[in-house]
Amino acid sequence: MSNKFTQAHRLRKADEFSSVFVFRKVRVGKFFKLHYKPNELTHSRLGFMVSKKVHKRANQRNYIKRTIREFFRTEQSDWMPLDLIVRAQKHFTPEYYPLIIAELKQLCAKFKLNSNVQKTSDSVGS
């Protein structure tokens, strides 16, 4: 699978977001809260929420969104198909980038593990 982030990889509609929130699976870190739900597609989809409470300036909120989007683009090919909403809880600047990526990888490690377990169990059953 390629490392693309197309319209098909986005959560866009309010009911897509609410279905993830209703599923009630959450992982929490210092900077982010991840809400997730398995989906029936062949790829993962991303939605994010960065409120004005995180930072007043739009350019700073956009930087946070770009960072999340880039992480998702590079990592999602190894995950099981799921709908993921990333909620920023705290502002960060570029000097925290390695810490941010480490936190996102740690929060998303479960998605990789489940993907590997699922592939292994599928091959055993065949």
Residue 5 confidence (pLDDT) above 80: no
The pLDDT value given to residue 16: 85
- Higher-pLDDT residue of 116, 4: 4
pLDDT band of 2, cuts 50, 70, 90? low
- In the numeric block, the tokens 């197309």 are attached to 6
The pLDDT value given to residue 32: 92
Q: What six digits make up the tokens of 107? A: 């929060």
Mean of pLDDT values over 55-59:
93
- H helix or E strand, kind and range, residue 3: none
pLDDT in tens, 62-120: 999 999 989 988 888 778 888 999 999 999 989 999 999 999 999 888 877 444 444 44
pLDDT in tens, 11-43: 888 888 888 888 888 999 999 999 999 888 888
Sheet holding 32-38, edge to edge: 25-28, 32-38, 82-88, 45-49
